[in-house]
Amino acid sequence: MLTVDFHSSGDVVHWALTDDGVTRTVHSEYTPTLFVGDAVRDLYGRRGGPTPTPPDRDGLSESLTDLQAFLTGQDAVVDIQCEAHRQTFRTAPRPLLRIDAASVDAVRRIAQRVQQFNGPAEYTCYNVDLTPQFRYCLETTTPASPDRSVRSLRTLTLSIPPHKAGPDALSHLTIDGDAAGPTPEATVTAVDRAVRERDPDVIVVSTAKLVPVLFDAADTHDVPNFELGRAPGYTKLAGESTYTSYGQVGHSPARYTIPGRVVIDESNTFFYHEAGLPGCLDLVNRAGLPLEELSWASIGRVLTAMQIRAARDRDVLVPWQAWRPELFKPAATLDAADRGGTTFAPAVGVHENVHELDFASLYPNIIRTRNISPETVCCGCCDTNDVPGLGYSICEADGYLPTVLGPLIDARSRIKDQIEETTDDVERDRLDSASSAIKWILVSCFGYQGFSNAKFGRIECHEAINAFARDILLDAKTALEDAGWRVVHGIVDSIWVTPTKDREQRNLETVAAEISTDTGIELEYECAFDWVTFCPMRNSESGALTRYFGKRRDEALPVSEATLGDAIKTRGIEGRQRSTPTWVEDVQAEALRVFDKTRSPEAVCDVLRRTLTSLRNDDVDPERLVIDNRVSKHIADYTHETLTVAALKRATLNGTGLSPGQTIQYVVVNNNAHGTERVRLSYEDITRYDTDWYANAAIRAVESVLAPIGWREGEIRDYLTGTTDQTLTAYSERTDS
Amino acid sequence: MNTSQRQSPVELPELDTGLTLVDVGSDLGVTPVQSLLLDRVFAGDGDAYWVDAAGTAQTTRLRELAPDKRYLHRVHVARGFTAYQQTSLLDRLTGDRVTTPSVVVATGIDRLYRDTDVPATHAQDLLVRAIAALARVARVHDVPVVVTRSRADEFTRPLVNAAQTHLQWEDTQFGPRFTDAAGDVETLVYHLSDGWVQTTLAYWQEVLTHRARMHDASVVGEEATSGSV
């Protein structure tokens, strides 16, 4: 299917692709279903241990019978029966109330009534908060993917620049990149025509707010029969909202949909940004989450969709609320479990002849090879000591989580092989998109196990995965040391080694292969470095765990200046951060080139001196000074008057306020000024910049390169101002020794 | 609450069976409550059970406070990360797996019910239910139950009403002090004659080491602490 519309009458309209358009099918009989079980204490309360042991019964309990009587005949309820299903992965099917609701909206209303009936925590509800299209696919066994064997999807992109707002904004609208019209009226007419002519299946909008804005403008300017969808009108699915969860303030923008077409909101999509439409469609197929819902879904929601499908295969219902608590454990165990990933503190400075080895998809592979799943860890039926350091048991029976992640791990490695083999650029792009979408799911599956509101998450899984990861990394370290290699740094799934002095080394790839066999997870040889430099923390001499750079042995530096190509790998330093202005990035790149060539802090500082001179002579194009920041929260939620806040305020002042998830671009013009005067937004006319502020930024970027060899900001400034007297320094060193 | 000022220069309130609400200034967080918990472990035969909803159950501080690491095996911790998990955990305290506790602690009992994913009326119902569950724990196991809240306001008034004892922890110029909100009884933890208000980790380590000795409970590394208490 392509998409599904839900009418308040309860009718459901199902749209599917045909070779020249779409078919529209109305299902008036569709009734979404939820389930209600007994009090939570039967599962996790007094009877709760590793294995819930609810009391046996044949039919409905008295309390469920009461509820049935209360709900029978209510408008929201179409049918209500007794049906047996499993409430958890560790319990057998039990007779529960099955309630068929009049519409998707009625589901939540019913659940809320259940919650209010007969005291809190008297009932547990299931299959309540599924997104409507996903629910429809599940309950009617409809494939979530559009059938692209019929034809490929047609898309239309409508954009307005993020800094344009208000009634005039429509004059700046583009249709697939082309200006739509000089006036709002012309724009609406052009959009209407484009939609009719192109008959798109997917409309990508730069912001979902465009949907009501276009309809309103059509109204204002009397554009007859204006439509975006394949039937009249549009629907607001969710209002803009701010919420608190576990002490954190979050924000979600409004969502809109239109009949018969998928809306993708570029200001509210993770996967479309990361993987494009092909990657999204690939994921729709794997996760069974329909395209429109996947487009705004978080990684966790997609992973949850997969888990829900796996649970359904085992007749397990989806709990509404996260009732399942962690087990009581001795503080001593919690102390061991709470340590997080293992890291070996890196030795600050330059290391010659370094090799990097990485465990491939470490966390997902631990889950898979160690059978980690919410229902297998501390299972209660096996009395074994399986998790290193924690003593938790892991059940012999196959867990469901490995069956969810296994196919993803395999698919990703298959796709990686195909990327290596293919010579077709279009094909490579498609594969890259698919790979990137899957990568995010795999990267997040570990953290999501510990997320409090995860549908099937469990903290003990999270702890077990961590414990195995520590064990594996430590075993690898020992094996490498036994083979004559010294570990200079290790973090979670990566290890850096260099030959131990005065020892013979066994071949690294052989050792890695042995470790792979022993641990059951492939330790890949990543690459050789001529040198690697580990940086100290900004305000300490200790090594920072994720700030380093190194020269790859097999890659030459590009001839053109100021770019590094793949020759120098950097992590955690300015050049890697998206907010860093191009100009600062270039200063750092040049510093790294000179550092590679000379290892001389003086030579690097000479580069800096030249760049600062041109900065002070106003020779730098302000475009190269633009700071690009992703807005992480609402302006009111920021507690410090940062430059980003100043820029956000300036945008609001211009009537172009930004929502979290969007990016703000600005140049610092006077850091000492007040409020919005500190910055100019990138689309404004920028004739000056704050020389001192950018000079400091450049010095910090160079400090990142030189700090590992002992040159901090002070030394750099001294050298720049020429107060460092070489002779004097040399003299004092001599007298000290 | 009883105090026995003459027994020892280092005092902690003696906890009675039933609910004791402890309000602690936020800068010290959970340390005074952890100290009460450990004190019961020194004195009692049973283990301590701690349900945390305040996100304060990091074991680092507990490990630092305990005069002997072996006490960490006698403190059983479970953390509620959602209002619903916490509700389950409080029920579990009267389940088969919790046997003869010496003390039960519930920190930040109201906190998760304040999350906006819990509807307001439902939140109040759940809080009242949580208080009832704790009262039941005290009754079933005949033990003291120490409760803390994240905020003193109308929402947590049922807790004040339900608690037999309401202690306020405060810092005075003579040292930290627990005051009974209902009346006149107070416990000065440790009289600091020089007027220097000590609220550091070292201070509490010293208090607990002394309390452990008082109860003839195990203390390691005695040589490491100053012998002047």
Residues 6+ apart with CB under 8 A from A731: none
Residue A469 belongs to a domain with what CATH number?
A: 3.90.1600.10
**Residue whose tokens read 């309630």:** A99
Element (DSSP H or E) covering residue A273: helix A271-287
Check whether residue A162 and residue A235 sit in a common domain: yes
A109 in contact with B, Cβ within 8 Å:
no
Domain assignment present for B227 = no
B121 in contact with A, Cβ within 8 Å:
yes
CA nearest to A101, candidates A85, A125, A120: A125
Domain assignment present for A333 = no
Residue A50 belongs to a domain with what CATH number?
A: 3.30.70
pLDDT over 70, % of chain A: 94
Going by pLDDT thresholds of 50, 70 and 90, the confidence category of residue A21 is very high
Where is pLDDT greater, at A243 or A466? Answer: A466
Check whether residue A550 and residue A580 sit in a common domain: no
The pLDDT tens digits for A203-243 are 999 989 899 999 999 999 999 899 999 999 999 888 776 55
CA nearest to B207, candidates B69, B112, B65: B65
A328 in contact with B, Cβ within 8 Å:
yes
Nearest CA in chain A to B79: A326
Q: How far apart are CA B102 and CA B100, in angstroms?
A: 6
Domain assignment present for B192 = yes
The pLDDT tens digits for A426-458 are 899 889 988 988 998 998 888 877 777 788 888
CA B150 centroid distance within chain: 14
CA nearest to A498, candidates A508, A485, A511: A485
B215 in contact with A, Cβ within 8 Å:
no
What is the rounded average pLDDT for all residues in chain A? Answer: 89
pLDDT surpasses 70 at B31: yes
User: Residue B129 and residue A120: Cβ atoms within 8 Å?
Assistant: yes
Say how many CA atoms lie within 13 Å of A437 toward its Cβ: 29
CB pairs under 8 A between A and B: 129
Q: Which domain holds residue B132?
A: 18-218
The pLDDT tens digits for B46-59 are 899 999 998 877 78
Check whether residue A492 and residue A381 sit in a common domain: yes
The pLDDT tens digits for A515-546 are 999 999 999 999 999 999 999 988 888 888 88
Domain assignment present for A629 = yes
Q: What angle do CA A539, A544, A550 make, to 5 degrees?
A: 120
Q: How far apart are CA A320 and CA A35, in angstroms?
A: 10
Measured in degrees and rounded to the nearest 5, phi and psi for residue A564 equal: -110, -15
Domain assignment present for B75 = yes
B92 in contact with A, Cβ within 8 Å:
yes
pLDDT surpasses 80 at B188: no
The pLDDT tens digits for A26-62 are 999 999 999 999 988 888 766 666 777 787 888 899 9
Split into its structural domains, chain A has a count of: 4
A636 in contact with B, Cβ within 8 Å:
no
**CB B39 within 8 Å of CB B14:** no
Q: How far apart are CA A309 and CA A319, in angstroms?
A: 13
For residue A477, give Cα distances in angstroms to A36, A133, A414, A488, A532.
51, 48, 29, 10, 18
Nearest CA in chain B to A320: B84
pLDDT surpasses 80 at A636: no
**CB A15 within 8 Å of CB A4:** yes
Q: Which domain holds residue A272?
A: 155-313
Going by pLDDT thresholds of 50, 70 and 90, the confidence category of residue B119 is confident
Going by pLDDT thresholds of 50, 70 and 90, the confidence category of residue B43 is confident
Residue B75 belongs to a domain with what CATH number?
A: 3.40.50.300
Split into its structural domains, chain B has a count of: 1
Going by pLDDT thresholds of 50, 70 and 90, the confidence category of residue A591 is very high
**CB B48 within 8 Å of CB B59:** no
Determine the distance in angstroms separating the CA of B139 from the nearest CA of chain A, rounded to an integer.
Answer: 15
- A231-240, A687-696, A711-720, B145-154: range with lowest mean pLDDT: A231-240
User: Residue A334 and residue B59: Cβ atoms within 8 Å?
Assistant: yes
Strand ranges for A388-536 from DSSP E:
485-491, 494-499, 523-536
Residue A594 belongs to a domain with what CATH number?
A: 1.10.132.60
pLDDT surpasses 60 at A14: yes
Domain assignment present for A571 = no
Domain assignment present for B3 = no
Which pLDDT belongs to residue A331? 92
Domain assignment present for A328 = no
Domain assignment present for B1 = no
Domain assignment present for B6 = no
Which pLDDT belongs to residue A48? 62
Which pLDDT belongs to residue A315? 96
Q: What 3-state class would DSSP assign to A201?
A: coil
**CB A42 within 8 Å of CB A82:** no
User: Residue B63 and residue A335: Cβ atoms within 8 Å?
Assistant: yes
**Residue whose tokens read 């003299």:** A731
Which pLDDT belongs to residue B175? 67
Q: Quick one: residue A696, left, alpha or beta (phi over 0 = left, psi -120 to 50 = alpha)? A: alpha
Domain assignment present for B10 = no
pLDDT surpasses 80 at B185: no
User: Residue B78 and residue A332: Cβ atoms within 8 Å?
Assistant: no
Residue A59 is given by DSSP the state: S
Going by pLDDT thresholds of 50, 70 and 90, the confidence category of residue B2 is very low
Domain assignment present for A581 = yes
pLDDT, mean of residues B126-145: 94
Kindly provide the ipTM of the predicted complex, given to two decimals: 0.88
Which burial class, exposed, middle or buried, applies to A621 when counting CB atoms under 10 A from its CB (0-12, 13-18, 19+)?
exposed
- As given in the structure block, the two tokens for residue B46 are 């049973």
Domain assignment present for A431 = no
pLDDT over 90, % of chain A: 67
The pLDDT tens digits for A152-197 are 999 999 999 876 766 678 999 999 999 998 999 999 999 999 999 9
B79 in contact with A, Cβ within 8 Å:
yes
Which pLDDT belongs to residue B67? 87
Which pLDDT belongs to residue A250? 54
Check whether residue A190 and residue A304 sit in a common domain: yes
Domain assignment present for A490 = yes
Exposure letters A240-249 (e unless 16+ CB within 10 A, then b): eeeeeeeeee
Q: How far apart are CA A318 and CA A131, in angstroms?
A: 12
The pLDDT tens digits for A287-329 are 999 999 999 998 889 999 999 999 999 999 999 988 888 889 9
The pLDDT tens digits for A358-413 are 999 999 999 999 999 999 999 888 889 999 999 999 999 999 999 999 999 999 99
- As given in the structure block, the two tokens for residue A351 are 């290391």
Domain assignment present for A622 = yes
Strand ranges for A539-689 from DSSP E:
543-552, 568-571, 627-630, 663-668, 679-681
Which pLDDT belongs to residue B190? 60
Q: Which of B88, B89, B113, B122 to mutate to test the interface with A (most CBs of A within 10 A)?
A: B88
The pLDDT tens digits for A84-109 are 999 999 889 999 999 999 999 999 99
From A313, A335, A358, the end of a domain falls on A313
Q: What 3-state class would DSSP assign to A12?
A: strand
Check whether residue A348 and residue A468 sit in a common domain: yes
Which pLDDT belongs to residue A298? 87
CA nearest to A263, candidates A215, A207, A219, A302: A207
Which amino acid does the sequence have at A660? P
